[in-house]
Amino acid sequence: MDLARTEVTGATGAAVRKDRRGSAARLGLIAVPVAFFAVFFAYPVAAIVARGLEVDGVWQFGRIGEVLAQSDVRHVLWFTTWQAIVSTALTLLIALPGAYVFARFDFPGKQVLRAVVTVPFVLPTVVVGTAFLALVGRGGLLDELWGVRLDTSVWAILLAHVFFNYAVVVRTVGGLWAQLDPRQEEAARMLGASPLRAWRQVTLPALAPAVAAAALMVFLFTFTSFGVVQILGGPTFSTLEVEIYRQTSEIFDLSTAAVLTLIQFVAVGVILALHAWTVRRRETALRLVDPSVTARRPRGTGQWALLGGVLVTVVVLLLLPLAVLVERSLDAPGFGYYRALTRVDGGVFLVAPIEAIGNSLSYAVAATLIAVVIGGLASVALTRRDAGRFVRGFDALLMLPLGVSAVTVGFGFLIALDEPPLDLRSSWILVPLAQALVGVPFVVRTMLPVLRAVDVRLREAASVLGASPWRVWREVDLPMVRRALLIAAGFAFAVSLGEFGATVFIARPDNPTLPVAVERLLGRPGELNYGQAMALSTILMVVCAVALLVLERLRTDRSGEF
């Protein structure tokens, strides 16, 4: 009896020690991402807010009320919220039929079309704005054909937002729709329900969390819109992000910029909290089936008409702006705009604009490596669903860089990272660090579901056989998540390549990135500058599209999740 008690006690003690070692290892893994975000995100944002609201060591919180009392600030807040709501509603209205088509129909070229509709989402917002400028702006296609200009109207902004976010709804809602068992709706039809009633009472409640999650993400992206509004809105329209940029770089009113940053921070926090709740609801409330068994060829005139309508929407809304962008870049004879990129004019840049391509690629590679390391460590630490409150809270905080003002982060880099041992203002690494902040959330969101899907018994068996936590990760987890890791790296590369809000502050004139070069060329009058901007935007679009096509071939599942 004593021997048995001793064995049980020893086994229990070993299990406790193993659990403690696992907890310690998990805390050690998360320490690096926490330190990274504390130094390169929280510290710069806090520094810029403190610079704006602190005077002689005293916080001027009364400045918040003073700023909010300004009529022009209230107008910016109203327009930011109003256009985000309308953009979200339009995106859902236009994209939900596409989500159904990709979920339930099987037709030739479906995978290629899926990649095509995702191209706008990975395009830099500067390119999106430039493409619509070529379509609806002065001298654009609509201007030439019918004399219609929309570049100074809110409609250009709304359409560009639908263009950018169409894939968010199609892939998020369509991915879940493809996995819903159609037999539930068919059973309701057999019991006498009309098609509309069956869809409303069976399918719609199941889709509601995915629709809500997609709507919240679209609202987040449009609420914090910068590049699109900067190019298409002109001096008439300004979102919070654009106003923060204007107050910081043009008016130099840091107190107003700090107040606007705090407002945006609170709004984004609420949006992300709601998004996390809808995602948890979707994960726990549904029974899903293999999406390969739910898709079939369209039947009847109505379904073929729906498919045709979606294809027309994709061509007109998504492909036409990109085609016009390419056409405008080729408008000069003999590829004149592209050849002009190789010359130094001494006006906009200190180097030839073509060098922005190499700069962007090298920065994006470095940013991708940083994002994969930081995001990978965070994903491993967040793998266990029974993780503590601190770990779960950090999971939500990882999404903040997608919504917090990139302008504030970029300017904060210049203010905060200016003293040893973090005097990085003259270092090339500053740009990849800022870009990696945006890439990390994509890495985590891509890798975490796959890591959580790994059977925990495989890890436990390896541990029982004496494998260290590092060896368990290398021999159990890594082989299963290798493709997800490549996809995460691809997304990090694409978003780093197109990052603009922070880079516009910290990219040096002798090392511009592609988005910064496009924005500066568009800011100068003259047909040559406009044509060069179109040429650089086309090059950036092609690079992003190639990266996306590679990602589409590497997809580990057909769920369509980002």
Task: Reply yes or no on whether the pLDDT at 338 is more than 80.
Answer: yes
Residue 83's pLDDT band (boundaries 50, 70, 90)? very high
Helix pair angle (527-554, 110-122), 10° resolution: 130
- Dihedral of CA atoms 185, 190, 192, 194 in degrees, nearest 10, equals 40
Residue 374's pLDDT band (boundaries 50, 70, 90)? very high
Output DSSP code: residue 292.
Answer: G
Say if residues 113 and 181 touch (Cβ distance below 8 Å): no
Provide CB contacts within 8 A for 547, sequence distance 6+: 122, 490, 493, 494, 497
Residue 483's SS3 state is helix
Report cis status (omega within 30 of 0) of the bond before 449: no
| Segment of 85-94, 138-147, 350-359, 447-456 carrying the highest mean pLDDT | 85-94
Predicted local confidence at residue 562, as pLDDT: 44
Task: Reply yes or no on whether the pLDDT at 355 is more than 70.
Answer: yes
Say if residues 178 and 103 touch (Cβ distance below 8 Å): yes
pTM above 0.85, yes or no: no
Task: Reply yes or no on whether the pLDDT at 227 is more than 70.
Answer: yes
Question: What percent of the chain shows pLDDT beyond 90?
Answer: 9
Task: Reply yes or no on whether the pLDDT at 285 is more than 50.
Answer: no
Higher pLDDT, 126 or 469: 126
Say if residues 325 and 541 touch (Cβ distance below 8 Å): yes
Higher pLDDT, 483 or 76: 76
Pick from 306, 302, 313: nearest CA to 101 = 306
Higher pLDDT, 237 or 20: 237
Token pair in block for residue 381: 């630490």
- Distance (Å, whole) CA 491 – CA 371: 10
CB neighbourhood size of 196 (10 A) = 8
- Distance (Å, whole) CA 101 – CA 185: 17
Task: Reply yes or no on whether the pLDDT at 156 is more than 50.
Answer: yes
Section 355-375 average pLDDT: 90
Question: What percent of the chain shows pLDDT beyond 70?
Answer: 82
Residue 393's pLDDT band (boundaries 50, 70, 90)? low
Predicted local confidence at residue 292, as pLDDT: 56
Which sign does the torsion angle of CA 68, 74, 80, 85 carry? positive
Domains of the chain with bracketed CATH? 22-51+336-556 (1.10.3720.10), 70-119+153-325 (1.10.3720.10)
Task: Reply yes or no on whether the pLDDT at 200 is more than 70.
Answer: yes
- Distance (Å, whole) CA 375 – CA 488: 9
Higher pLDDT, 449 or 38: 38
